[in-house]
């Protein structure tokens, strides 16, 4: 399975962002999917968000919780979405997808300082050859 369909029944997404040096940083994350878009909720001050703000070119692949890939890397574009409606929608999608596990994680994370933000990810369509 390739393209957006590769993420349809997956629990985890490995998000590779890039440092200024070009070195990739891979991070397994929870995600929600709506149509052709993937969404990640994370802390606004996290390294991955800072890297996306500077360079929205990323790679994504379905993975296990520990980051081991279960699919292939796909090039994508990511951007930060600060819209409160988008944040509410993504929170609802994540609650439905992860259930009790997410609620427990959210309670544990509530004491961490920092505002959450959304990364919206769209796969790059291959150029017709």
Q: Would the pTM count as exceeding 0.85?
A: yes
Alpha-carbon span 17 to 49, nearest angstrom? 9
**Which pLDDT belongs to residue 65?**
94
- Better-scored residue on pLDDT, 106 or 58: 58
Residue 54 confidence (pLDDT) above 60 = yes
Q: Which of 40, 18, 37 is nearest to 28 (CA)?
A: 40
C-beta neighbour count of 11 within 10 angstroms: 15
| Per-residue model confidence as pLDDT tens digits over 5-52 | 999 999 999 999 999 999 999 999 999 999 999 999 999 999 999 999
Q: What structural domains does the chain harbor?
A: 3-123 (2.30.110.10)
Among 22, 1, 26, 32, CA closest to 14: 26
- Predicted confidence band at 1 (pLDDT cuts at 50, 70, 90)? low
């Amino acid at each position: 399975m390739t393209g957006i369909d590769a993420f349809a029944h997956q629990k985890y997404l490995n998000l590779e962002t890039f440092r200024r040096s070009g070195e990739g940083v891979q991070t397994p994350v929870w995600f929600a999917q709506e149509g052709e878009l993937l969404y990640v909720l994370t802390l606004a001050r996290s390294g991955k968000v800072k890297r996306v703000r500077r360079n929205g070119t990323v790679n994504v692949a379905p993975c296990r919780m520990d980051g081991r890939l279960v699919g292939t890397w796909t090039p994508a574009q990511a951007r930060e979405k600060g819209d409160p409606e988008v944040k509410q929608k993504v929170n609802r999608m994540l609650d439905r997808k992860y259930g009790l596990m997410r609620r427990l994680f959210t309670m544990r994370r509530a004491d961490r300082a920092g505002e959450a933000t959304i990364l919206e990810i769209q796969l790059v369509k291959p150029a017709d050859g």
